[in-house]
Amino acid sequence: MASAPQPPTTGKLEVGYWDIRGLCAPLRMMCCYAGADYDPKLYALQAKEGGGWDASNWFGVKPALKEKNALMNLPYIVDGDVVVSQTNACFAYLGRKFGLYGSNDTEMIQCEQVLCEVMDLRNNAVKFFYSSGDDLAERTAAHATSAEGSFGKLEEWLAQQGTDFFAGASPTAADFHAFEMVDQHACTEILVASAENFPLLAAFHARFRALPQLQAYFDGPLHKLPLNNRMACVGATADPLAHKKTE
């Protein structure tokens, strides 16, 4: 049987990541959806004189966290004595803790499959977001074609399942990451899921965006953070369309 929601841990959760949406937006949304008391710990890169970026804001605290978890990286979760790193492990941890990992074994494995598929989309997007060169329009078109394949898989999955969300009638961890990636592609105008090209994915995006438990998040400062870090060619500022204005 799927894991039952875990009892609350004493104290406030700490969810650490760069001061961007990036990989951590789904984790922050999960905390907000669950009404959890949590600290969204933000780490910032600083521009160095002469070029490059100073990451000491993060690397200065990483050793202490690594003493508790040898795999320490961003994002991470500190929940009392429990310290979790690695992105999909963080999704799974909060999913189980908040009852967002499926209500039975079937839903749990559906959630896990979609998490893996969305991570493939995420990894391809990151390669593009942080690429460099003068051919941004060409690279954007190439990534849009790649992302369209991933969107097509997610569209077909929703058609096969016949459910409002990716693993059933209510959200699981997979939905938070799937929403974020569809939203990142939409707000940068790289690929928009519409009623014409991906009707089920577009309906999912709208349905998730309207969840009452998440309106405080969508109206708040965390959703307004840049998509990517400061060295990215796309999504490095609070204006997700800045890259188009410089083409």
- Using 50, 70 and 90 to split pLDDT, how confident is the model at 247? low
- Using 50, 70 and 90 to split pLDDT, how confident is the model at 7? very low
Helix axes 136-161, 105-129, angle to 10 degrees: 170
72, pLDDT greater than 70: yes
Mean of the pLDDT values across residues 147-156?
98
Helix axes 173-187, 199-209, angle to 10 degrees: 110
List Cα–Cα distances, 30 to 100, 145, 156, 176, in angstroms: 8, 30, 25, 7
Q: Does domain 13-97 have CATH number 1.20.1050.130?
A: yes
Q: Each residue of 186-245: pLDDT tens digit?
A: 999 999 999 999 999 999 999 999 999 999 999 999 999 999 999 999 999 998 988 887
Nearest-angstrom CA–CA distance, 147 and 58: 31
Overall pTM surpassing 0.85 (yes/no): yes
Q: Each residue of 106-117: pLDDT tens digit?
A: 999 999 999 999
**What are the structural domain ranges in the chain?**
13-97, 105-245
Neighbours of 51 (CB within 10 A): 6
Q: Each residue of 88-138: pLDDT tens digit?
A: 999 999 999 999 999 999 999 999 999 999 999 999 999 999 998 889 999
Q: Which H helix or E strand runs over 42?
A: strand 38-43
Same fold, 13-97 and 105-245: yes
Q: Each residue of 49-68: pLDDT tens digit?
A: 988 999 999 999 999 999 99
Q: Does domain 105-245 have CATH number 3.40.1550.10?
A: no
1, pLDDT greater than 50: no
